[in-house]
Chains A and B, each alone.
Chain A
Amino acid sequence: MQSLIPDYYKELGEAARSGCRKVAWCSSVGPVELLRSLGFAVYFPENHGAMLGASRRAADFISAASALGLSPDICSYMTSDIGAFVQGKTALTSAYGLASVPRPDVLVYNTNQCRDVQDWFSFYSRHFEAPLLGIESPRGMVDVTSAHLRALGQQYQNLASQLEPIAGQSLDIDRLREVVASSLRCTTLWQEALRRGALRPSPLSFLDATVHMGPAVMLRGDPRAERYYEQLLQELDRRAQGGKGAIADERIRLYWEGMPVWGKQAELTEVLAAQGACVVASTYCHSFVFEGLSHPDPFEGMALAYSELFIARAEAYKERYLRTMAQEYGVDAIVFHDARTCPNNSNNRYGLPQRLRAQLGLPFVVIQGDLNDLRLFSEEQARTQLEALLEQVEAGRP
């Protein structure tokens, strides 16, 4: 289980070095199944962004990107990643022994999550003189309609034709079906694992879930990811049967809405655990559940799965989704992270917390911060706010 991600990066490094396989860069909710079925080794820059965030050195890299004309107000995954690149650094060296990020043969984005991935990948497309392709998705959808799906399905078909000459092979539809089916099994297992968070006590916390979501992001469509989650499920069930929670004495259950503060994940988990509080569910980790892949047509399945996701939806959908999640996971309060450089994942800005409080009677707090740029985060202030939220939950109990 532990060797899966290191093996994945080793293979990626090998593909880039030897040229034995073509390398495609892909956005995290991009068309990975298509790339995998065409034989590409697939690299996800967002994972690298998160690694830079967790290293707490992102601010240095963001400054280097600012000097290139990239505003510090845009995605700090993007600015830390590009800043590190221009300084000749990568978090992959210390973690997985790769000298550099793998050189792309093609870069493929999907604007379902934001425009930043498109701009981010264009930088590298210019630098490496590698083709930039993508799916241009509608955003802010209340419902995903058949009209949306038809147009998107067509885009996936076109993308496949554009990728074939780069891959040096034509698309084998049976292989695509196989990869999509594997991706679906992976996603179902991942969803099952996350659902264990509904147990009391929850056998996994937000911190655990962000660690375990790696294969769902980077290896979906690869059967090894399925094995990973089968083992994880067994482990979680063992813990649950033994009554073992992710934290010692779970008294308060929280929902986390928004991005993690990567450089402070452990500290925030500790602050909460010290008061008996555990984040048992999050939008972020659940975003890598793609039920739409069960569609009988693999193209429409990808179109559905990668357009119906939370981030691409209208506020009305988000409100319904969060209401259901809060109820299913039996949470006592909601933490909203307002990540300065990712408005796409900051859902406190249009009055949603207040509306949910009115509907569910749940207290909430909004933490100002960022995914990577710790200059935008005050640990002391966040600690006080989280503790005050927990005091409020405790005081409200009979």
Chain B
Amino acid sequence: MSGALYCGVDIGASAAKLVLIDESSAVLARVVESSGVDYAGIAQSCLERALGQLGRHADEIVWCVATGYGRNNVEFAKSRATEILCHGKACHHLVPGAITVVDIGGQDNKIIRLDEQGRQLEFKMNRKCAAGTGAFLEEIALRLRVPLEQLDALAQSSTQPVRLGSFCTVFAKTEILSHLRQGVALPDVIAGAFESVASRVLEMDALPGQVVVTGGVVAHNPVLEKLLSRTLGRSVIVPPYPQFTGALGAALCALESSRKTL
């Protein structure tokens, strides 16, 4: 295989994602690893794995853009961009038109509004609070001693989700325990936790136009797509590989930057 490579790496709070694309923006490789604490090391390891899959070399990468909380730790990146810009760019690439991007991350949520041309009109991040983020679901899973990867299946089997009234993660956990004590079935409690995430996200902002949902949380929990569509009253789009949207956006930025410097 030959041709120029463009790399996007997204070091998030929970996972590090890397995408390699070619000149036509086609994705050639995707790698995800847990972020851990050594961001520089994990970025390097993602890169080596991706190149290994393709049998290619690092010097074939024309440009690399880093994004996410660990963006400043990626030594091999040529430039950096915020995850807000990258999510917007990738979503507009995948779903052209005026869209509202909702990114549900491990630690924070973002809402990004784009016009027809993909220009960012405004953005919003959640308040400094875990409510409505992946961290909330992790806490609940831990408290209920349910492995994270089983949350989705359990929620999907719910027939009567409970309604959690509390904003606060700690209070919500107490509320969940009291529901369980009253005999509410576990799937209904978990579905209630997902509904709470959906409500927190939807109340962050008005969500005009087509809503595109990205991020690791929706990638691992397809139930959220259903809940968001139901609460919003219209269907949302979850693009393929939603966990990689930030990294794909970064790779698209890399391609753009290389063209600008030609």
Verify that A and B bind, or say they do not. Answer: yes
Complexed CA–CA distance, A381 and B130 (Å): 13
Q: Does A377 contact B (CB under 8 A)?
A: yes
Q: Does B235 contact A (CB under 8 A)?
A: no
Q: How many residues of B contact A (CB 8 A)?
A: 15
Known A384-B83, A388-B85, A391-B84; contact A376-B128, beta-carbon cutoff 8 A: yes
Query: What is the 8 Å Cβ interface bit string for chain A, positions 364-382, against chain B (1 contact, 0 not)?
Result: 1110100000001110110
Residue of B nearest to A386 (CB): B82
Q: Report chain B residues within 8 Å CB of A376.
A: 128
Q: Report chain A residues within 8 Å CB of B127.
A: 368
Contact A396 B119 (CB under 8 A): yes
Q: Does A385 contact B (CB under 8 A)?
A: yes
Query: What is the 8 Å Cβ interface bit string for chain A, positions 274-289, against chain B (1 contact, 0 not)?
Result: 0000000000000000
Pick from A365, A378, A380, A392 the residue with the most CB of B within 10 Å: A392
Q: Does A214 contact B (CB under 8 A)?
A: no
Q: Does B120 contact A (CB under 8 A)?
A: yes
Complexed CA–CA distance, A363 and B123 (Å): 9
Q: Does A395 contact B (CB under 8 A)?
A: yes
Residue of A nearest to B124 (CB): A366
Contact A377 B123 (CB under 8 A): no
Interface residues on A, range: 10 to 19
Complexed CA–CA distance, A365 and B125 (Å): 9
Q: Does A150 contact B (CB under 8 A)?
A: no
Q: Does B108 contact A (CB under 8 A)?
A: yes
Known A391-B81, A395-B119; contact A385-B69, beta-carbon cutoff 8 A: no
Of B120, B122, B124, the residue contacting A391 (CB under 8 A) is B120
Interface residues of B in 94-129 (CB under 8 A from A): 108, 119-120, 122-125, 127-128
Q: Does A10 contact B (CB under 8 A)?
A: no
Contact B123 A388 (CB under 8 A): yes
Q: Report chain B residues within 8 Å CB of A380.
A: 69
Known A387-B82, A388-B85, A391-B85; contact A381-B119, beta-carbon cutoff 8 A: no
Contact B119 A388 (CB under 8 A): no
Q: Report chain B residues within 8 Å CB of A364.
A: 122
Of B108, B120, B122, B123, the residue contacting A381 (CB under 8 A) is B108
Interface residues of B in 114-159 (CB under 8 A from A): 119-120, 122-125, 127-128
Complexed CA–CA distance, A89 and B186 (Å): 52
Known A384-B83, A387-B82, A391-B84; contact A363-B125, beta-carbon cutoff 8 A: no
Contact A388 B128 (CB under 8 A): no
Of B81, B84, B122, B128, the residue contacting A377 (CB under 8 A) is B128
Contact B125 A384 (CB under 8 A): yes
Contact B108 A388 (CB under 8 A): no
Known A381-B108, A384-B83; contact A392-B128, beta-carbon cutoff 8 A: no
Using a CB–CB cutoff of 8 Å, the interface residues on chain A facing chain B are 357, 363-366, 368, 376-378, 380-381, 384-385, 387-388, 391-392, 395-396
9 contacts between A and B (CB under 8 A): A357-B122, A368-B127, A384-B125, A388-B82, A392-B120, A392-B122, A392-B123, A395-B85, A395-B120
5 A-B pairs with the lowest CB-CB distances in the bound complex, closest first: A388-B84, A388-B82, A392-B120, A391-B85, A387-B82
